[in-house]
Structure formats: structure tokens, C-alpha cells
Amino acid sequence: MKNILVVCAGNSCRSQIAHGYLNYFGFKKANIYSAGLEKHGIEPRAIATMQEDGINIKEYTSNLIEEYRHIDFDFIISVCDHTSENFPNDFITKNVIIHQHFKDPAAVKGNNRQIHDAFENTRIEIKDFCRRFVRQYL
């Protein structure tokens, strides 16, 4: 079984959404983990946007990449430019690293509708990416 790590700056939103979709699309084909360079806690709006699509990430936890140093990952997926630019080189071994930047919906300012739309748009982009990833690699 493959081990996949999804990494973001704070492991609060984009990496959590990707974690949920990779679990869903890659069910029993891989062990999925998500982590951040920092730990910001899970964004409640990420949980809500995933629930709108029938995926429950409510029990997920926000973790630091250091917590997974002992795992030999087949794939590391970076979902934001900050992570791609600041990923610790000593963490990289023989794994395949894939970088796909997604806009941070938690950074959007505006009314509730604008923020909801930002989360939904990012969720849809991540869902499409995860579906393609599973087809190609799992």
C-alpha cells in the first residue's frame, strides 16, 4: 500500500481537503496523511465545504510534518507555493514530489457568500486534482 503525504503551510484547509478526497478516491489503495510546516488547526469552513460534498473531515487533526518523519512516503503532494519553496530538504528521500498550488480560501476577505464561493471553488479544484492523481498513480 502506498503512503501519501499532503503538505500545506498550516495544515488547516487545502491539505485537509486534499486529504479527504484522496481518502475517498483512493479508498484502501493508500494511506493518506496531511501535515503543515506549521500547525494552525482545521479551518471550520474547510470542514463545512467538504460536508457539502458528502465528505467528513471533522475528525481530522492538524499536524506538523515532523510528526511523520518516520514514515517512508511514496508521494509528497505540496498544495501551496509557500510549502513548495520552504519544504525541508532533509525530509525528501526517494519519494515522488508533486506540487500543485491552490488558492487559499481562508485568505479571502469579503461577505459570507464570497468566502463560501472561495471555499467551494478551491474544493472543486482540489477534488479534480485528487481524482486525476488517484487515476494516474494508484
pLDDT in tens, 108-121: 999 999 999 999 99
**Which among 101, 110, 111, 127 is positioned nearest to 46, based on CA atoms?**
127
**Which among 87, 82, 134, 85 is positioned nearest to 103, based on CA atoms?**
82
Active site residue 13: no
Size of the chain, expressed as the number of residues it contains: 138
Q: H/E element holding 36?
A: strand 30-36
- The residue annotated as part of the active site, out of 4, 8, 30, 126, is 8
pLDDT in tens, 2-57: 999 999 999 999 999 999 999 999 999 999 999 999 999 999 999 999 999 999 99
**Joined grid coordinates for residue 95:** 519519494
CA 46 to chain centre: 11
Q: Where are the domains of the chain?
A: 2-137
Instruction: Report pTM.
Output: 0.95
43 CB burial (10 A radius; 0-12, 13-18, 19+): buried
Active site residue 8: yes
- The residue annotated as part of the active site, out of 6, 18, 77, 80, is 80
**Total Cβ atoms within 10 A of residue 7:** 27
The fold of the 2-137 domain, in CATH, is Rossmann fold (3.40.50)
